Structure 1
């Protein structure tokens, strides 16, 4: 007997599968190279996208990467040796866009993970990873979702971050049990 939960979760998983089938391996590999070359990695986004980015930043810290979320009280200065990762499906959200412009003013590398390759963010983006899902703009070619608003983008962003982390672990032959040294221990 199929339950409502099993139907709905299967639909969500199917949407995620379709989404990841459409993400470019080359774009992801370019992002990974930039992460590995950067002295520090900064993240900026708003709303639920920010929550996904915060989780990715924490995972990167577990890998020994100096990762920071823009606006945190302990955020250091960004430099030309650093990478800013912007999460914005539409690429039009004002706060991330203005932070990206400011980062470019410091000659930092800017990576945009989003759905809209022709957004205002494109003018300051060095690296683009497209998650081609439905945005608030409703552009042609977007993968439609039965989920509310931009849930599919936020989910895909989080899973993309964990996938990138796993790829870096494998590429660098990182000892998984050794990662616990970076885990919070004041809990």
Structure 2
């Protein structure tokens, strides 16, 4: 198969995702971000990389947003929100973060395939994304390896949240560009 044929198949797999995401749940996340003093994002592996992309865009919008685990990440407080992207919703290190955030009294949002997971149960808001857990990806429901379908959907979902936030705050790419890195 040619690269363009693989790309076409991947896009065919992603396309139905739009109809499987709840606008109501997504809007709760947007409002949670608007209400938060600071925004923290966590994820393991490739889901964590999607989260880093999300935090970068929030920084461009002048939000106080951080990636968990970076050296410049401040402390989490009760007026903050922790957004966890996790396909399984049961990654032990992420569960521990959610438990600690809950004990501090902040808000937790889970973006996951499995809302009934440990992280989903700890969360104040849960956004269910389509995808196939990496351990089940060999069942021919996707041509992609492991959790790729979820991770791609997660990136696109985060970008859609950014667009909604831009709409609500009257921002555009030009107003955000002034915060783009300039020492590259």
Q: Deviations over 1:36-92 (max 9, x none)?
A: 111110011111111110011101101111110111101101111100000110001
2:176 is the alignment partner of 1:163: no
User: 5 Å matches for 1:37-186?
Assistant: 37-136=35-134, 138=136, 144-186=141-183
- List structure 1 runs of 4+ shifted beyond 2 angstroms: 136-139
Q: Secondary structure at the match of 2:83?
A: strand
Residue 20 of structure 2 corresponds to which residue in structure 1? 22
C-alpha distance in 2, partners of 1:137/1:70?
25
Unpaired runs of 5+ residues, structure 1, are none
| Backbone CA RMSD of aligned residues | 1.6
Unpaired runs of 5+ residues, structure 2, are none
User: Normalised by the size of structure 1, how large is the TM-score?
Assistant: 0.92
Q: Give the aligned length.
A: 182
Higher mean alpha-carbon deviation, 85-94 vs 12-21, is at: 12-21
C-alpha distance in 2, partners of 1:124/1:177?
38
User: Normalised by the size of structure 2, how large is the TM-score?
Assistant: 0.94
Deviation at 1:168, TM superposition (A): 1.1
Q: Secondary structure at the match of 2:3?
A: helix
Tell me if structure 2 keeps the 8 A contact 1:45–1:95. Answer: no
